[in-house]
Amino acid sequence: MMETCPAPEERRRRGRPRKPLLPPDSTRESGDPPRKAVWGDEDRLLTIDEVADLLRVRPKTIHYNKSQHPERVPPWIRLPGFRSPLWRLKDVRAWIEKGVAGGEAERAKNEEMRQEGLYPFPKKKRGRPTKLEALAAVKGGQAF
């Protein structure tokens, strides 16, 4: 007899089961639903999940960038007795506004360079030159 392949929900997964990013009916230990960050609460402290929601990235991205690329996340604070970092809503908001202003300035500079014919920049060749390029450079007396 030939067995059929089980339905996807019946298959056993290897390794640890994956947790959903945000459970549909997530509640805190107190039983209250999690509070969404509101832009009027300037002194409120945010957890990594709330900052990830505001920036629309996964919490793991925040963890990685915090350790490897700290300039890619808003400035955080660490309170005594807490293992995880916390963010002030006003700091996150200022960081976002700083990025918006920086992006607009960069866009204006690129547009100005494009009008002058300086943009896009010519790409530099990567890697080792080919034999023909090396031979041409030697014959031309150029050192590369």
Asked whether residue 94 carries a pLDDT value surpassing 80, the answer given is yes
Length reported for the chain: 144
Delimit the domains of the chain by residue range: 45-121
Give the rounded distance of the alpha carbon of 115 from its chain centre. 31
How does pLDDT run across 66-79, given as a tens digit for each residue?
989 888 899 999 98
Residue with the larger pLDDT of the pair 87 and 99: 87
DSSP type of residue 35 = P
* Domain 45-121 annotated CATH 1.10.10: yes
Q: Is the pTM of this model over 0.75?
A: no
Q: What digits encode the pLDDT tens for the residues 97-126?
A: 888 777 778 788 878 887 887 766 666 778
Say if residue 10's pLDDT is above 90: no
CB neighbours (10 Å) of residue 22?
11
Tell me the mean pLDDT in the region 122-142: 83
What does residue 6 show for φ and ψ, rounded to 5 degrees?
-65, 155
Tens of pLDDT, residue by residue over 14-69, are 555 555 544 445 444 555 665 665 556 778 899 999 999 999 999 999 999 998 98
Cis bond upstream, residue 23 (ω within 30)? no
